[in-house]
Amino acid sequence: MDRCTTSSGFTLIEILASLVILSISLLAMAGLMVTTTKNTSFGGRMTEAATFAQDRLEEFKAMRWQDIPLVPGSDLKTGSTGINYGRNWSVVSSGNLKTITLTINWNDQTDHRVTLLSVISQ
């Protein structure tokens, strides 16, 4: 008889309490996964935008100094995810320096903009 009254194990209340705690923690982790996925996607788009901007700057650096146009320009690039990136640039010459300002814009539910500045000497 003593053996039945001193049995060790979990009671129904302890099991229910642990299930409630587990459920709350799993819900919190699900919300964290959504945030992580959004941040990862934004990081990929930011990298793609910076790459498109750097590509255009490298094209300017590959030109002869005299051939770098002083007229503002723009074009449109489509990324691997289908997002369109607009590139705008302007070149200002002062003495033997040309300052290139390149801005890249895109929209993925909100507007984003990255601006790069480079100086090329003669």
Tens digit of pLDDT for each residue in 63-78?
998 999 999 999 999 9
Q: Output the pLDDT for position 60.
A: 93
Q: Output the pLDDT for position 65.
A: 87
Domain count, the chain: 1
User: Residue 1 domain-assigned?
Assistant: no
Residues 6 or more apart from 90 whose CB is under 8 A from it?
72, 73, 100, 101
3-class SS of residue 106: strand
User: Residue 58 domain-assigned?
Assistant: yes
Q: Output the pLDDT for position 50.
A: 94
Positions of the chain with pLDDT under 50: none
Q: Which residue type is seen at 10?
A: F
| CATH (domain of 68) | 3.30.1300.30
d(CA 51, CA 80): 12
